[in-house]
Structure 1
Amino acid sequence: MKLGVVLRADNLIREKQLRQNRVVTPFGPVDRVFSGLVHNVEAHFLYGRFPGARTPSWEIPYEANQSAFDALGVDHQIGTFVVGGVDKSVRGGDLIIPHDVISLSGPSRSLPPLDGRFRNAHVIPTFCPVLRELLIRGARATGIPVHESGVYFSFYGFARIETDAELQLIERLGARLVGQTLDPEFTLARQRQRHYAAIAIAVDSYHDMKNEQDEDPEVFRARSREAIAVGREQFERIIEAGLAGHDEAAEGDCGCAKVAKGPHRDMFTSFPEHLL
């Protein structure tokens, strides 16, 4: 396993003396990767999805981020997310390890195929069961409470949060959490047949937000910032504890990396093959 994690892992960077890398990609340089061994596993921590100042979700350099992981040989990836809770069981400050995702719309983002031949990413299972088990095991080992399942609804492409009607619809669809950044990161990672799993912290809850108009915005902002800071520290502890009990023998049991490799005829060829 060569693990890539999207996380501002301040504690692990310091404690494990991870070295900073600058990776040049076809989409520009990525200079915020910190690399080293964590419990004998080669790990590469991407320090946030966007460089410098925060940007809208559609301006995050997803292609450059994934290309940096390509260059580093990353074959397993964990994404960490800040989300909103949707169903009544999720409150602000809760951690969730989703088991599936709904993404009905999104940007036209893709990576050029490494072998010169385009193919759709196959995403069943959606998230790698081995990586999900690593996260669940890490949460149990640290005693950090998490929701061990949930559907992430990917709400992408608007400079706003969801309307009340949209949240009602998302809740009826059975989603537990909603956010803007899991896809296209998930799709691009799966295009590379990377094993992928996610863990998220809810900074608020749909059912709590119904009364948000009666709350001081500064109080809400301060509470959200505190939840994010606590969540990042908990993500680090969970991932480290999961890696401490990692079993290399279990890595091949998930089926995430299966892809057809034979000399198959391309059904999308535009001209008769004997004329090409």
Structure 2
Amino acid sequence: MRLGVVLRADTIIRDEGFRQRRVVTPYGPVDRVFSGKLSGTETHFLYGRFPGGRTPSWEIPYQANQSAFDELGVDHVIGTFVVGGVDKVVRGGDLVIPHDLVSFSGPQVSLPPTSGRFSNAHVIPSMCPRLRELLIRGARESGIAVHEDGLYFGFYGFARIETLAELELMDRLGARIVGQTMDPEFTLARQRHAHYAAIAVAIDSYHDMRDESDQDPEEFRARSREAIRYGRERFERIIAAGLASVAREPLAQVCSCARTSKGKHPDMFASFPEELL
């Protein structure tokens, strides 16, 4: 396993002596990668999906980020996220390990096929059960409370947060958290047959968002900053404990994330064979 993690892992980078490197990709250089080993596993931290200052989600260089992982031979990817809580049981500061996602729209990006022919990524199941097991193990061994499942709802296209009607719709659809950045990161990783899983921290809750107009913006920002700091510190602990656990005892779950068809056509989700068109 070569693991890529999208996380500003300051403590691990410092304490484990991870070295910064510049990875040249067809979409430009990525100079915020830190590489090293955790419990014997080659690990590469992408120090945030934003290059420098924060940008709108549709300006994130998703293709460059995934291409950097490609150049490094990464075959397992963990995305870390800051989200809003939709399910009423999620409060600000809660951690969630989603088991699936809904993504109706988003930045329209793809990567050239490695096989020479385009094929849609097979994404059932979406989140790799082996990587989810690693994260859940890590949380349990660290004594860190997490919601061990949840539906991530991808919300795109607007420089705003959700309307009340949108929140209520997501709630009815069974979403637990909402965010803007899991896809197309997830899709690009799955196009490469990489294993993908995620862990998120909620900066606010359904109740907070419903009552946003009654809140002091500075109090909200302070609470959000604290939730993000709390989440990042625990993401590091969970991932480190999960990798240490795997070094002692192999993962029990099996998955088909890396499976590719050996037949004439890449897979059932490929475009139709040309001779049938």
Alignment correspondent of 1:72: 72
Match runs of 1:73-152 below 5 Å: 73-152=73-152
Alignment correspondent of 2:263: 262
C-alpha distance in 2 between matches for 1:210 and 1:176: 15
Q: After superposing the two structures, state which structure 1 stretch, 154-163 or 26-35, moved more.
A: 154-163
| Runs of 5+ consecutive residues of structure 1 not aligned to the other structure | none
Q: Secondary structure of 1:159's match?
A: coil
Structure 1 residue 260, shift from structure 2 partner:
1.2
C-alpha distance in 2 between matches for 1:249 and 1:136: 14
The residue type paired with residue 186 of structure 1 is F
- The two structures have a TM-score, normalised by structure 2, of 0.94
Structure 1 residue 263, shift from structure 2 partner:
2.7
Structure 1 residue 119, shift from structure 2 partner:
0.4
Match runs of 1:170-189 below 5 Å: 170-189=170-189
Q: After superposing the two structures, state which structure 1 stretch, 262-271 or 68-77, moved more.
A: 262-271
C-alpha distance in 2 between matches for 1:82 and 1:213: 21
C-alpha distance in 2 between matches for 1:128 and 1:187: 13
Cα distance change of structure 1 residues 251 and 13 upon mapping to structure 2, 3 Å threshold: farther
Alignment correspondent of 1:214: 214
Structure 1 residue 149, shift from structure 2 partner:
0.4
Cα RMSD (Å): 1.6
C-alpha distance in 1 between matches for 2:79 and 2:30: 17
Q: Secondary structure of 1:32's match?
A: strand
Q: Secondary structure of 1:42's match?
A: strand
Structure 1 residue 262, shift from structure 2 partner:
2.7
Q: Deviations over 1:157-200 (max 9, x none)?
A: 21111111001000000000000000110001000000000000
Match runs of 1:178-257 below 5 Å: 178-246=178-246, 249-250=250-251, 253-257=254-258
The residue type paired with residue 241 of structure 2 is A
C-alpha distance in 2 between matches for 1:107 and 1:9: 26
Pairing 1:57–2:57 present = yes
The residue type paired with residue 60 of structure 2 is I
C-alpha distance in 1 between matches for 2:276 and 2:151: 42
| Runs of 5+ consecutive residues of structure 2 not aligned to the other structure | none
Matched residue count: 272
Alignment correspondent of 1:40: 40
- The two structures have a TM-score, normalised by structure 1, of 0.95
Q: Secondary structure of 2:200's match?
A: strand
C-alpha distance in 2 between matches for 1:40 and 1:210: 46
Structure 1 residue 125, shift from structure 2 partner:
1.2
Q: After superposing the two structures, state which structure 1 stretch, 113-122 or 75-84, moved more.
A: 113-122
Structure 1 residue 264, shift from structure 2 partner:
2.9
C-alpha distance in 1 between matches for 2:253 and 2:27: 31
